[in-house]
Structure 1
Amino acid sequence: MFDVVPDVPLVTVIIASYNHAPYIEASINSVLRQTYPRIELLVIDDGSSDNSVALLSQLQAAHGFDLRVQANQGLSATLNAAIARARGTLIVPFGSDDIMLPHRIATQVEYLEGKPEVGVCSANIETIDHQGNVMGAREQRNRDLPFRRLDFDDLFLGRKPGPAAATLMFRREALDKVGGFDPDIRLEDIYITLSILRAGYCIDVLGEVLAQYRDHPTNTFKNGRFMVENVLKTYARFRDHPEYEAVCMRFRNSMFLKYANRDKPLARTTLRDIPLRHWNRKTVRGLWRLLASRR
């Protein structure tokens, strides 16, 4: 689709969907409405048990994008397989519950021109609810951030706000250099961005909104145990960094505080893995929440 202008880079957009029937049509339509003239759209249903396959089949018949249906393989393995058959020099994995603004692809392609050191281009996001309504100011933590260039330490040490997954555009050569996504890590965006930074590229995050991120009950980040397990598994791939232990402990302290009054078993397990020498203000605040909560 859109593959009619040979003198501009071909961009491959990959949408891997799992049980996102309420959101997938809006996601696909936002790709179809891009102003950029040369896009290859690959859609993969990864073993959905809702009515996604029937809906996707109807959309494919109407719009002619590449659709594949498979037994569940997980997002990282699915993305690797899609990248292997993608024809684009720029790769955009895109959430099946998110929405691109119409000028998103054109803006990022134009920005990347002449900047071979930038392995990934990202941008700001606007948060919407499950019905597509723009959420209030308190939920818009990544809407008004300024432009920033990230190196490995910026992201690993949390020195600057990281890139938004809903706006990632990768140079294919950068993905190839690091061997793609790791199927053993289910939180794919943190791993791949750190890997590309470690390989010597930088990530530029544009200071404008280019996508809408949908906040709904099944968002990955709302699964605390999943987040703790996979973020720490990701960090372990970079355990040779001199600040590795401190990075892990800061993350554990943040998760302990977050879940102290939401998930006491998870909070207690997390606290047991924080040695006393790594306690900080978040630990103390988390202990207060843990003791004060009746849940």
Structure 2
Amino acid sequence: MTEVQSGLPLVSVLISSYNHANFIEASIRSVYAQDYPCIELLVVDDGSRDDSVAVIQRLQEELGFNFLVQENKGLCTTLNEMIARSSGRYIAPLGSDDVMLPERLSLQVAFMEQHPETGICAGGILLIDGEGQPLSDRKQRHRPARRLDFDDLFMDRQPGPPAPTLLFRRSALEEVGGFDPSIRIEDYYVELRIAHAGYFIDILEQPLALYRVHGNNTYKNRRLMIDTELAIYKRFEDHPGYEATRLRYLNAMFAKVASEDKALAGELLAQIPWRSRNLKTLKGLWRYCFKRIA
């Protein structure tokens, strides 16, 4: 249904697919299961080497969405090109291994329409495994609704928005120039830039998506994540909280990797001055010295 027919703003859902043949059908079908009627879906296969293209072509024949196949360009470049081809007032990137819950877009659009100061609306997530089964309750994260400004996000004063639930106001995304292809982990940096431009990030309490935890999640590449996060902080080094934010992150990551990657842990520890070490550093030192890598 179009925006003119429904009287509702159009949402462009963008799926950049890469080697998720086992998961992509659930992602695509979750878009069509939305109770919000005004959606366009664009799917690009970004150079998958598995059976993703065949799966998506079969679904395209059934459902009729916009689909392109290309050589690998990377997520940020692909998303920017999809945004340029899309028409929605709101933009919803969706990982090709994640799943939207049915009320997601109706809740987010209603909120965004009432809050023009909001550049990004997100929500809660439920964790599932590679087979689509819920993880145990103790691994789930239930957090209250919250509003974040730039300092909240940059200085980690409140938990940030879960990536599988991001809904962008197109005008805010275009104001900051879209996604930056030089940053490998795209979501955090664009969130900071939109907040830095003066918009709020609002996170609803309701779970809006299923986040799939499996062996190829990007966050499991510790060195990539850490190097990228530090590079993002560096982009805002004129902020008065820059050094405190950088050192807080180094301490936290040292404690996290101390028993799983001794070489990386040693590099992180060398960047933390003695005066800036804290309880997390001590915990990390114990793991670094006495806990063996599994």
Give the structure-2-normalised TM-score. 0.97
> Which position in structure 1 is the counterpart of 2:109?
109
Task: Provide the residue aligned with 1:121 in structure 2.
Answer: 121
The match for 2:263 is 265
SS of the aligned residue for 2:83 comes to helix
Identity among equivalent positions (%) equals 54
Aligned to 2:210: 212
1:46 match: 46
- Quote the Cα distance in structure 2 between the aligned partners of 1:237 and 1:74: 21
Q: Residue in 1 aligned with 2:70?
A: 70
2:2 partner letter: D
The AA in structure 2 aligned to 1:254 is A
Q: Deviation above 4 Å: which 4+ runs of structure 1?
A: none
| Cα deviation 1:35-87 (Å, max 9, x = unaligned) | 11110101111111111111111111111101111111111111111111110
Please give the alpha-carbon distance, in whole angstroms, between the structure 1 residues aligned to 2:236 and 2:53: 38
* Matching residue's letter, 2:51: N
Instruction: For 2:47 and 2:269, locate their aligned partners in 1 and report how far apart those are by CA, in whole Å.
Output: 36
1-structure distance, mates of 2:91, 2:256: 34
Structure 2 Cα separation of the partners of residues 58 and 11 of structure 1: 23
CA distance in 2, matches of 1:252, 1:93: 29
Q: How does 1:210-249 map to 2 (within 5 A)?
A: 210-249=208-247
CA distance in 2, matches of 1:249, 1:139: 27
Identify the residue that residue 37 of structure 1 maps to in structure 2. 37
Code of the aligned partner of 1:172: R
What does residue 163 of structure 2 align with? 165
Are the counterparts in 1 of residues 6 and 37 from structure 2 also a CA contact under 8 Å?
Answer: no
SS at match of 2:282: helix
- Post-superposition Cα deviations, 1:125-160, rounded to whole Å, max 9, x if no partner, equal 01011111111122112xx21110100011111111
Corresponding residue of 1:151: 149
Q: What is the root-mean-square deviation of aligned Cα atoms in Å?
A: 1.0
How many pairs were matched up? Answer: 292
**Letter of the 2:181 counterpart:** P
For residues 273-292 of structure 1, the aligned pairs below 5 Å read 273-292=271-290
1:181 to 179, 182, 185: 179
Alignment partner, residue 60 of structure 2: 60
**Structure 1 residue 6, shift from structure 2 partner:** 4.1
Q: Which residue of 2 aligns with 1:200?
A: 198
Deviation at residue 283 of structure 1 after TM alignment: 0.8
How many angstroms apart in 2 are the aligned matches of 1:114 and 1:246?
35
- Give the whole-Å Cα distance in 2 for the aligned partners of 1:37 and 1:195: 30
Q: Unpaired runs of 5+ in structure 1?
A: none
- 2:277 and 2:151 map into 1 onto residues whose CA distance is 22
